Amino acid sequence: MEYRRLGSSGMYVSEISYGNWITHGSQVEETAAIKCVRAALDCGITTLDTADVYAGTRAEKVLGRALKGVRRESYELFTKVYWPTGPGKNDRGLSRKHIMESAHASLKRLGTDHIDLYQAHRFDYETPLEETLAAFEDLVRQGKVHYIGFSEWSAEQIASALEIQKKNGWTRFVSSQPQYSALWRVIESKVIPLSEKEGIGQIVWSPMAQGVLTGKYLPGKKPPVGSRATDKKSGAGMISGWMRDEVLTAVQKLVPIAAELEITMSQLALAWALANPNVSSVIMGATKPSQVRENVKASGIKLSAQTLKNIDLALGTLPERDPAKTVSPNPRA
């Protein structure tokens, strides 16, 4: 495993992060989930990502139990706040009330006294940005949060936050957690240039495009039994946008590229995302330890300029690049 600094901060993260969206508390049993976490730690993954909303707060509890007894200083624990965690109007969003209540609830579920990176899971249009950032600053000053970041914010929203943080002398954002893959490249034109300028590193999710870039989905054929595309509880809705024959046909053109490099399609997808110097880490999920052990081998793979060009040629105009696709909903609606 190789490690990179998170943005301009002094904290290092593993190039491959372990994320438990969809899997923990939902898709796999707790015993299997714990085995995956332990496999990740054994393989050198030190960065673990979750969120209060995953599996209705159950994912944080499972992760907390999986990490019980592990030396706290040996890993970086990331979680997030924004999406609904209860039925009330204040059980969501980025108000001071919800941030403080959610942070303390996450600490309890995770069984720890601090969060290494606390992230705004989306942008809240209803709460004044200064209120949100002041609450984050208080958590940092209390020692309950070490660093702060955001997920799926537009360049304009990021710039507004940085201006407020600079004006008040508050802790600055060091991370962005966007969707990013060879098929979803909406951050490249605006978010990444701003992030490079401001010392913000990307921790990207879905680098395998919900599994499409693994090549296991074939054009004209039904998805494999038990795959994400067949399981409504594990992201079938999100992957459906890529389950078009033109996309699946293009992805099959990547198979010989991976074969020539003697790596798997999953490793190719992860290495592609890591080829971007602004990416600090890529998040992978797993339902069994063997997947963890396979995917971590992507760390350290350096794709040549020609390989990256060949991937672009294979996918053609299919990748989404429109920066306007980075949109946050209204959490109170």
Output the six-digit token pair for 224.
Answer: 């494999």
> Exactly one of 54, 118, 180, 217 is catalytic; which is it?
54
Close Cβ partners of 8 (under 8 Å, ≥ 6 residues apart):
174, 199, 200, 201
Output the six-digit token pair for 64.
Answer: 């907390």
Check if the beta carbon of residue 103 is closer than 8 Å to that of residue 136. no
Active site residue 54: yes
Distance separating alpha carbons of residues 268 and 259, to the nearest angstrom: 10
Distance separating alpha carbons of residues 324 and 333, to the nearest angstrom: 21
Q: Which of 244, 274, 211 is nearest to 23 (CA)?
A: 211
Output the six-digit token pair for 221.
Answer: 């054929």
**Distance, C-alpha 99 to centroid of its chain:** 20
Distance separating alpha carbons of residues 18 and 75, to the nearest angstrom: 11
Phi/psi for 171 (5° steps) reads: -55, 135
Residues carrying an active site annotation: 54
